Amino acid sequence: MLDALLQAARPLLAPAFTAWGSPITWLECLAFVLALAMVAANMRVKPVAWPLAIASSLLYALLFADSRLYGEASLQLFFVAIALWGWWQWLRGTGEGGAPLVVRDLSVRQRWFAAAATLAAWPLLGLLLKHTTDSDVPWFDALPTVASVTGQILLGRKFVENWPVWVGVNVVSVALFATKGLWLTVLLYALFTVLALVGWRAWRRLADG
């Protein structure tokens, strides 16, 4: 199935140009643009961020699978599923007392739970990737994968803490994608880091407002 999808996407996986000695594909270029638009919409708490996330994630799933980053590829498919959930949450979701969702903080207990769950899942996914795939960076791939799941859930429920999680994910991802020569994606995740800091500040103001 995966081989058939990669074969069908082969025209998009053709090089558009070369940067730092590595080919940049048309697929990576398109995913790059959609991902930036998604983050900009998230920062402004605009529901259009979710369909942009779906399109970008599908493209990145193919790109990462082609680069043997199976944890990241699987994560993108998870993003597609949770984006549908997040889209619904932002349009119809409710908070305490049935009120519409608003930007808010996690409790201290919730923060500890999110951190513990993420750290517990990391070695489990690392072992799975090591023993069931031909990934050459299973542990490195697993860390941003599990942290991204945490970040996406927090984003869907409009918790401010999704942004510091994304800062950490993006910093690790820059190093991960650099090892694979995905230089446009390295640039994207470097920009994501800056945008996550800006988004953190913007949502902090909304929560305090």
pLDDT, residue 76, reads: 85
pLDDT, residue 8, reads: 59
The CA distance from 206 to 209, in Å, is: 5
pLDDT, residue 7, reads: 61
Are the beta carbons of 130 and 138 closer than 8 angstroms?
yes
3-state SS assignment for residue 15: strand
Return the C-alpha torsion angle 177, 181, 187, 189, nearest 10: -10
Compute the mean pLDDT over every residue in the chain, rounded to the nearest whole number.
87
Extract the residue ranges of the chain whose pLDDT is less than 70. 1-13, 15-16, 19-20
* Closest listed residue to residue 38, CA positions, set 200, 196, 186: 196
CB within 8 Å of 88: residues ≥ 6 apart: none
3-state SS assignment for residue 94: strand
Are the beta carbons of 62 and 27 closer than 8 angstroms?
yes
pLDDT, residue 2, reads: 52
| Pair of tokens at residue 29 | 């270029």
Query: Quick one: 182 exposed, middle or buried, by C-beta within 10 A (0-12, 13-18, 19+)?
Result: buried
Are the beta carbons of 96 and 115 closer than 8 angstroms?
no
Backbone angles phi, psi at 180, to 5 degrees: -100, 0
| Helix (H) / strand (E) containing 22 | strand 22-25
Over residues 64-86, the pLDDT tens digits come to 887 778 877 887 888 899 899 99
pLDDT, residue 120, reads: 97
